[in-house]
A = this chain, B = another copy of it.
Amino acid sequence: MASPDRPQQPDARSAAAAAAGAGEGAGDAVVPTPLPPTERFAARTAGMTASEIRALFAVASRPEVVSLAGGMPNLAALPLGSLSAEVAELIDDDGLSALQYGSAQGVPVLREQICEVMREEGVEGDPNDVVVTVGSQMALDLLTRIFVDPGDVVLAEGPSYVGALGSFAAYQARVVHVAMDEHGLVPERLQEALETLAGQGITPKFLYTIPNFHNPAGVTLAHERRPRILEICRRYGVMVIEDNPYGMLGFDGQVHPALRSYDADVIYLGSFSKTFASGLRVGWALVPPLVRDRLVLAAESATLCPPTFTQMMVSRYLAHHDWRSMIKTFAENYRERRDAMLAALETYLPEGCSWTVPDGGFFVWLTVPEGVDTKAMLPRAVTARVAYASGTGFYADGFGSRQLRLSFCYPTPERITEGVRRLAAVLEAELDVVRTFGSSARRELNRGPQGPRPDSI
């Protein structure tokens, strides 16, 4: 065959290198010393560390521990009987397509259905601008890949989704957090942050925001703030990435208008992980046409194409099931759990604690009394058979040591009540120590080598 050789530069070869080439094992002269793989890692891996929550799963997954740490959806209400018939039908009717490679952008019919789903939140999207991804995590990771150079600034709420912070770190972004209050991201704080950055000649690449039923904060962006946030970002030339996995899970049937419904330049991330089934890993991005081609190329380089099979499963589910009423059932289950958690927090928690009151989604964000360090306390909580996610994991900069995230999505109401009762006892003991000896000692978590469960969900 005629595969041409690469051009060589004979003059660049030293005599020693030429000698090294001849014999076996000879020629250490110009040959670099072999390095262990740890010395060969790219600079960007310096930002890769096991997340705070991740380390927990090994211990917290024991059955005697009530885990209020993870964000796994509760899927018990899924109609497994009809799903199993449907997936069999998918193989019978369309197996050779479902088992074959597909488009890098995603299965066309699913992209149409995704537009129908987004219409519930006032979003008018074109299926040609939808890119299906392996969970919306992949969309966020790829958007960071195509927009962020090392050192670029991105804005995110403080606290923010731990999986987003992981992707930002992987691409060496510098995260500037913007404060929230009980009505979500505070426009004045956003304005101040952008002013300060503009004074330094910095335009952030984007604002990453979770407007609805925030992970981890549990708050929702007030409607009147939405156009203001968008206006401020437009004024400063900052793109907006809206991540909306929980938007349909309002406890009172309320659906908030997506930021994308105000402004077609907003990048919208959606997911079927919380409204159908997380194990299928089907999410998407709706992007402006100018972004789409780059995103599809990045997706192709990342996985060639998303799994055809799971996309077609989602597509059939949407076509044949009353998915809206399924989501309503999910939301009712979560509401019952939220109620159990709020009641238990009221009943058991010591004075000086405060928490957010979510009206949708999975999470309560708890602030503990001064002097208690939620990360240092965590091993003692797990020993007392309750797990939570300590607050520092949700900040890129070490804040959050007085906060923690409680998830009410997965356990039964009874287990939630018991978990909060145990947590209250741990907090009481911690406060005793604080009152006697001052602030609680900082201890590092014992990190296992493997993260058995994704943490950041």
36-50 of chain A: CB within 8 A of chain B: 36-38, 40-45, 48-50
Contact B301 A170 (CB under 8 A): yes
List 13 contacting pairs A-B, 8 Å CB cutoff, sorted by A. A3-B179, A8-B196, A9-B199, A12-B200, A25-B235, A32-B237, A75-B96, A75-B100, A87-B87, A101-B454, A103-B451, A300-B451, A304-B454
> What's the Cα separation between A17 and B192 when bound, in Å?
9
- Residue from A83, A100, A104 whose CB has the most chain B CB atoms within 10 Å: A100
> What's the Cα separation between A417 and B401 when bound, in Å?
69
- Which of A137-145, A329-337, A429-437 participates in binding chain B? A137-145
Contact B4 A170 (CB under 8 A): no
285-344 of chain A: CB within 8 A of chain B: 288, 290-294, 296-298, 300-310, 313
Q: Given the complex, which residues of B lie within 8 Å of A308, measured CB to CB?
A: 279, 281
Contact B32 A301 (CB under 8 A): no
Which single member of B9, B85, B354, B399 contacts A196 (CB below 8 Å)? B9
Asked whether A211 is an interface residue with its Cβ less than 8 Å from the other chain, the reply is: no
- Residue from A32, A75, A303 whose CB has the most chain B CB atoms within 10 Å: A303
Contact B356 A103 (CB under 8 A): no
> What's the Cα separation between A24 and B227 when bound, in Å?
12
Contact A4 B76 (CB under 8 A): no
CB-based nearest B residue for A103: B452
- Residue from A31, A152, A159, A239 whose CB has the most chain B CB atoms within 10 Å: A31
The minimal Cβ–Cβ distance linking A377 to chain B, given in whole angstroms, is 17
Which single member of B280, B300, B450 contacts A166 (CB below 8 Å)? B300
> What's the Cα separation between A194 and B191 when bound, in Å?
54
Asked whether A374 is an interface residue with its Cβ less than 8 Å from the other chain, the reply is: no
Q: Given the complex, which residues of B lie within 8 Å of A157, measured CB to CB?
A: 3
- A 270-282 to B, binary, CB cutoff 8 A, 1 in contact else 0: 0001000111110
CB-based nearest B residue for A92: B84
Which single member of B6, B78, B89, B145 contacts A96 (CB below 8 Å)? B78
Given contacts A6-B177, A31-B198, A102-B453, 19 further A-B contacts (CB under 8 A): A1-B180, A1-B355, A3-B180, A14-B199, A32-B203, A36-B290, A40-B239, A44-B145, A80-B92, A98-B279, A99-B279, A100-B277, A100-B278, A166-B297, A279-B308, A296-B451, A300-B451, A309-B309, A309-B310
Asked whether A176 is an interface residue with its Cβ less than 8 Å from the other chain, the reply is: yes
Would you list the 3 A-B pairs with minimal beta carbon distance, nearest first?
A34-B237, A279-B308, A84-B91
Asked whether A114 is an interface residue with its Cβ less than 8 Å from the other chain, the reply is: no
Contact B100 A3 (CB under 8 A): no
Asked whether A407 is an interface residue with its Cβ less than 8 Å from the other chain, the reply is: no
Q: Given the complex, which residues of B lie within 8 Å of A280, measured CB to CB?
A: 99, 307, 309
- List the number of copies, as a whole number: 2
Which single member of B196, B293, B402 contacts A450 (CB below 8 Å)? B293
Given A141-B302, A281-B307, A452-B103: A399 touches B128 (CB 8 Å cut-off): no
The minimal Cβ–Cβ distance linking A210 to chain B, given in whole angstroms, is 13
Asked whether A222 is an interface residue with its Cβ less than 8 Å from the other chain, the reply is: no
The minimal Cβ–Cβ distance linking A208 to chain B, given in whole angstroms, is 14
Which single member of B76, B354, B449 contacts A2 (CB below 8 Å)? B354
Asked whether A253 is an interface residue with its Cβ less than 8 Å from the other chain, the reply is: no
Q: Given the complex, which residues of B lie within 8 Å of A236, measured CB to CB?
A: 31-32, 34
The minimal Cβ–Cβ distance linking A423 to chain B, given in whole angstroms, is 18
